[in-house]
Structure 1
């Protein structure tokens, strides 16, 4: 008989992994048998969306179960307020060890820590600074030239393995070698076709896989929740041999763009198209150089997950551990004449999501098309441990019914995502918007995608007739009624945010009765 609750949760996240660059999601050339193996044991979601198309806000929504508007970390390196509850805060009081191996992008609320008089070196101070995760081996993986912090565990590992230089992360793990041994920086896209100056077993993905296994073995009999957060295939786009040469331009998916997109383009979209990364990824030479390496990095990830899954199989952990596979957002890779992320095409905001629940045998191999959001993972994990979901705080919905193959009578009819381009002066200044007027919000259902821009016209896409999102109907008079409907849907969503996280709904509903019971009789004659 299956256990009533899971014992452990392994939450795997890849950084900047597109949903359509996995074979179980239909990629014809990039075969990912180990991720496919997980999908065959669990549920694969085909309409999963993140709450922010940038690392920081997306991850903070994943970790809190709350929309970006609610938790306030609107962009990278914006601290999440110290009062926000995360998975660690929910699980740790129940004896679960909650840790990270890899990236979180959590920015500490240093001002809040100081204001409350918390010693930053104490256990409480460290957890507050790390978003509730024990930093078993945190590595956000963006260490530009000049970085030399010996407390960084991966850097220390590289030095122990004989890699020299001021910054082994950059000089070896994320750079190639020239004909005369010179360092060719991975920050330059032209070097992506060359192998990294690091042995494959010493590169970031195998290293973090081994650290995950170390964590599981060290945890012993204590229940745990490990966030195994791989840095790749996020840039720098550099892969170790042999993964740098496994794929060719012919293996790359056709670019999703159309010349008509360039006519009367939305000014914010045009601002992002004018930046260097978008101009470069709009060139066939760049795509043909970079994307095969991007695919090689994904193949290396899949191979390492095979190592990890084999370990879980041998140790019996597949039987008591929920495994979640996800991504924080996608990557344009030239789609829509764009590079990087930050906007709301499905290339970016739609992500792979696979959940294997050892208790749900009936749903193995199921493919689920309902709309789900990143914020659904917190309540799903709490549900898996048999814990109460604090619905006055958490804004997502538990996916447990879908993991069991059930068909809920009511489910959400739209998903939401947000970003703020105030941090991008090359976009904000040309459109003449103040820093406090650059918020963008997406509302998407199965048929339409609507994007609201403060002070500027919206975008609208007819997903049934234009699934590639080439035709922006945001200014077409014929679709005014559709835009008005989605504007009202957005207002309805904003009015229903969890704005009182310090008091439960039950406490609110019982307040008057409580006053009467304790003898407070306001206005009695």
Structure 2
């Protein structure tokens, strides 16, 4: 038994050929899809990076494992508490790699810098070998592939291994080497991205809107600055030429990564193991490329950010099959357990979709709930053709508290129809409450970490940014947006400290006494 898991950071299914994209971005990924099962409604439960991979590895939703953000208390998993044993649950088979190691007797190998990037060292739990590619997730494929090829050359012919590899090229800033060229320079943009759409997006506000594609974390600023080291990545999108730079930069990142995957697959074929190799291709999250007016970021709990690719090529199982059922990425753990004939861990929250691989049977859920607490605080429900988004902190995007999108008619989430479909919103809220009640019953401390994020000042990538941002809005002719942002987020503008009431009373009494 040999399993290759490819975790392709920030890869949106909307930009892969096998999911219907008009550009040839992914020929090697497409070949794996043709030989396996392609899942079209597959979601990360928790976005973005650290929450997603923590949910995947632990098999638990972020609301229970505790890690839903990129900073503060919610940037770490909850402690096991008084019930913790000599070895924690992640070591005893609760994490994906430790389960595969202990339950399925697989030698587990990781090629990734991710744990160091986000200080999520629980990510390592259960791996026998760990290779940190050393650039904190800023590496290009040419930094990852040599490590992978070296391991394959030395070990691929061995039996019983699980190899997990991270690639990062679709993640901002777009970094495909300039000598790679631009295979898409003469190809049209996605036909929905028109000048009319761009003009509408110019009325929107917030980080990674068309006006501010850059975040200066050191100085807590949203701006349109560019970096000469990343010429494929624009600072803003004032016109359709800049739109082309943005889309081409992302697509080149995917294509460059895909060519390196082709090199990896060729090496595995040379080792004679490709025919019986299980290949799993997925991502931690997608990438908004215009959805909700956001570009080049995974900042929301919506279709653009939370829908991810999932392709499973399992020799002897379904080939060239498409599964449209609703699934979470953490459903992979019980699925592997069933496929490998191992008992699942009782603490896992996922549900096996092994029948989709074995018989092509529809075994999807009625709805899924997805969350985001790093850039905004949102929870959303995907059911039938609908995506309902509930916003608790808008991350300075001025999102409505309730948003509803008909994905059959509006797959890029451009028109909020919540006001026209109150009954649908009520149904979504019922599902959201049902899910929340079930999750809180599983919660060891009865604390919802979304509200921890709110209590600690808001999402990490928004906390402390608004004062500088209001200055930029004034300077760029958008000052009319400032009053509403200030009204919604008074915590970003702390009032001058006032003397305590008792102190003021004592001062008044003292003044009266002095007057006598």
Both structures adopt the same fold (TM-score exceeding 0.5) = yes
| C-alpha deviation, 1:19, in angstroms | 0.8
TM-fit CA distance, 1:388: 0.9
**Shift of residue 401 of structure 1?**
0.8
1:290 aligned to 2:246? yes
1:485 alignment partner in structure 2:
427
* Pick aligned residue for 1:205 from 117, 127, 141: 141
**1:233 matched to which residue of 2?**
170
Structure 1: give runs of 5+ residues left out of the alignment: 1-6, 110-126, 144-168, 174-203, 425-437, 503-525
Match of 2:495 in 1: none
Residue 416 in structure 1 maps to residue 369 in structure 2: yes
**Cα deviations across residues 483-513 of structure 1 (Å, max 9, x unaligned)?**
22111111111222385599xxxxxxxxxxx
Aligned equivalents of 2:11 and 2:203: distance in 1?
A: 30
Q: Secondary structure at the match of 2:253?
A: helix
Q: In structure 2, do the counterparts of structure 1 residues 38 and 482 end up closer, same or farther at CA, with 3 Å as the change threshold? A: same
Sort the Cα spacing of 1:500 and 1:447 in 2 relative to 1 into closer, same or farther, 3 A.
closer
**Which segment drifts farther, 89-98 or 278-287?**
278-287
Match of 2:23 in 1: 29
Question: Are the equivalent residues in 2 in contact too, given 1:15–1:234 (CA < 8 A)?
Answer: yes
Aligned counterpart, 1:181: none
Q: 1:496 — aligned with what?
A: 438
Q: Distance in 2 between matches of 1:499 and 1:138?
A: 37
Call closer, same or farther: CA 1:419–1:461 in 2, change over 3 Å: same
Q: 1:452 aligns with which of 376, 390, 393?
A: 390
Cα separation, 1, equivalents of 2:301 and 2:199? 18
Q: Alpha carbons of 1:500 and 1:370: their partners in 2 closer, same or farther (altered >3 Å)?
A: closer
User: CA 1:402 to 1:441, structure 2 compared with 1: closer, same or farther past 3 Å?
Assistant: same
> What is the CA distance between 1:312 and its match in structure 2?
2.2
Structure 1 length-normalised TM = 0.68
- TM-aligned CA distance change 1:58 to 1:281, over 3 Å: farther
Q: Which residue of the other structure, out of 308, 311, 322, is the alignment partner of 2:267?
A: 311
Contact map agreement 2:100 2:106 (CA 8 A) in 1:
yes
Residue 494 (structure 2) aligns with = none
Q: Find the counterpart in structure 2 of residue 89 from structure 1.
A: 98
How far did 1:298 drift? 1.6
1:10 to 4, 10, 29: 4
How far has the Cα of 1:82 moved from its partner? 5.9
2:289 is matched with 333
1:44, 1:276 → 2: CA distance? 35
Name the CA shift for 1:48/1:31 in 2 (closer, same or farther; >3 Å): same
**Given the superposition, is the C-alpha separation of residues 214 and 398 from structure 1 closer, same or farther in structure 2, using an over 3 Å criterion?**
farther
For normalisation by structure 2, the TM-score amounts to 0.69
Is the counterpart of residue 102 in structure 1 residue 102 in structure 2?
Answer: no
Cα distance in 1 for partners of 2:198, 2:182 equals: 31
Q: 1:48 to 1:103 in 2, by over 3 A?
A: farther
Q: RMSD across aligned C-alpha pairs, in angstroms?
A: 3.1
* Structure 2 counterpart of 1:370: 325
1:262 to 1:210, Cα distance in 2 relative to 1, 3 A: closer
* Offset of residue 357 of structure 1: 0.7
Q: CA deviation at 1:128?
A: 4.6
Q: Secondary structure at the match of 1:317?
A: coil
Confirm or deny: 8 A CA contact 1:281 1:337 kept in the other structure: no
1:471 aligns with 2:415: yes
Q: What is the correspondence of 1:96-495 to structure 2 with a 5 Å cutoff?
A: 96-105=106-115, 107-108=118-119, 128=122, 130-134=124-128, 136-139=130-133, 141-142=135-136, 204-219=140-155, 221-248=158-185, 250-254=187-191, 256=193, 258=197, 273=209, 276-277=212-213, 280-283=235-238, 284-339=240-295, 340-360=297-317, 363-390=318-345, 392-408=346-362, 411-421=364-374, 439-454=377-392, 457-474=401-418, 476=419, 478-495=420-437
Does the 8 Å contact 2:152/2:268 carry over to 1? no
2 CA distance for matches of 1:372 and 1:281?
Answer: 35
Alpha carbons of 1:37 and 1:464: their partners in 2 closer, same or farther (altered >3 Å)? Answer: closer
| Corresponding residue pairs, total | 397
- For residues 73 and 299 of structure 1, the distance between their equivalents in structure 2, rounded to whole angstroms, comes to 32
Corresponding position of 1:196: none
Q: 1:223 to 1:31 in 2, by over 3 A?
A: same
Q: Which runs of 5+ in 2 are unaligned?
A: 81-89, 215-223, 225-234, 394-399, 445-516
Distance, in Å, in 2 between the alignment partners of 1:241 and 1:466 is 35
Distance 1:128 1:250 in 2: 43
